[in-house]
Amino acid sequence: MSNPSILILPGDGIGPEVMAEVRKIIDWFGAKRDLAFDVSEDLVGGAAYDKHGVPLADETMAKAQEVDAVLLGAVGGPKYDVLDFSVKPERGLLRLRKEMDLFANLRPAQCFDALADFSSLKKDVVAGLDIMIVRELTSGVYFGEPRGIFNEGNERVGINTQRYTESEIERVARAAFELAMRRNKKLCSMEKANVMESGILWREVVTRVGQDYPEVELSHMYADNGAMQLVRAPKQFDVIVTDNLFGDILSDCAAMLTGSLGMLPSASLGAPMENGRPKAMYEPVHGSAPDIAGQGKANPIACILSFAMALRYSFDQGDEATRLETAIEKVLADGVRTADLMGPEGGVPVSTSEMGDKIVAALDASL
């Protein structure tokens, strides 16, 4: 039987630096846990534009469709701001999501005990936080038609359309219920059914899907109230499911509860392939951070945790994912800190590469 396959797309800015640390972790699992992967690498974003004139070459897109999982670093940077919208680095990312049909975006917000003081909220509000936001990723207002900027009388009007079909809502809802079954069997669905017809349909479909999961406690909440509740009492939630626009906003809100974007992974999942694994892409939440690129200041933990999500959701290696997450927690508990994690209490300052080495050492110690 062949090894599971991974396509690495480091991208721009700090993407190549943090992805280099993921390669160390992948190599460790192959050498120490007999868990080998067939790894290939290609270009996306600005790096792809510089070589091919497009943010994602057709050949790279074809590779992404064939592998078991894609690991992506980050895309973009100020040097590409002058490009036409159609070839901006971010279009490569959006093409991957759309053509792979990655409809369910999983954004965990977990607050490690060693970093609870980094949140802008009180420590007792966020300590032990572990929630998952499931965002619909391929429909809604970001993709609905009509859209554009049009002339209307003597002025221009910008139009975007919020559009959802029942099947689009059902499949992301089912993904969220399945995830809730693997966690604490508690799911909150967020929309704006009080003012939006798409929200009414969303609530109806999620409720109907919930009948297939009687063990899951389902609740509904308006998304604006959900934003308020996330900063008031976030630990009331376990899994949250919501649409593309609200998911974009709410997941960023939840991200900052943990104190650092450098700690936050994500997974984007699609329909199962012939081998039963879902099409999947894993990436850190943070951007390309061009201001610190090449300086060894970037925090690789979000990218490494994204690989942990791949172990769990693409490769059925939940125990090994937990091993990696525990190693990271141990390193943080020991006070090891990249620049973004250096607070008033200080710590042991390390570079991007040194943080990767510390995590590998903690993995060795776990054996």
Is there a binding annotation on residue 33?
no
Stretches where the chain sits below pLDDT 50 are none
Say how many C-beta atoms besides its own lie within 10 A of residue 342's C-beta.
Answer: 13
Is there a binding annotation on residue 167?
no
15-63 tens-digit pLDDT: 999 999 999 999 999 999 999 999 999 999 999 999 999 999 999 999 9
Pairing relationship of beta strands 278-284 and 265-272 according to DSSP bridges: antiparallel
Residue 271 is predicted with a pLDDT of: 84
Fold for 1-105+264-367, please state it: Isopropylmalate Dehydrogenase (3.40.718)
Is there a binding annotation on residue 344?
no
Is there a binding annotation on residue 6?
no
Is there a binding annotation on residue 135?
yes
Say how many C-beta atoms besides its own lie within 10 A of residue 224's C-beta.
Answer: 15
Residue 198 is predicted with a pLDDT of: 98
Pairing relationship of beta strands 155-161 and 336-337 according to DSSP bridges: unpaired
CATH number of 120-258: 3.40.718.10
**Contacts of 247 by beta carbon, 8 Å cutoff, 6+ apart:** 105, 107, 133, 134, 135, 136, 137
How many CA atoms within 13 Å lie on the side-chain side of 1? 6
Residue 335 is predicted with a pLDDT of: 93
Is there a binding annotation on residue 319?
no
Is there a binding annotation on residue 42?
no
- Quick check: 44 and 9 in contact, CB under 8 A? yes
Catalytic residue numbers, as ranges: 142, 192, 224, 248, 252
Q: What is the location of CATH 3.40.718.10 in the chain?
A: 1-105+264-367, 120-258
Phi, psi (degrees; rounded to nearest 5) at 328 = -65, -45
Residue 344 is predicted with a pLDDT of: 73
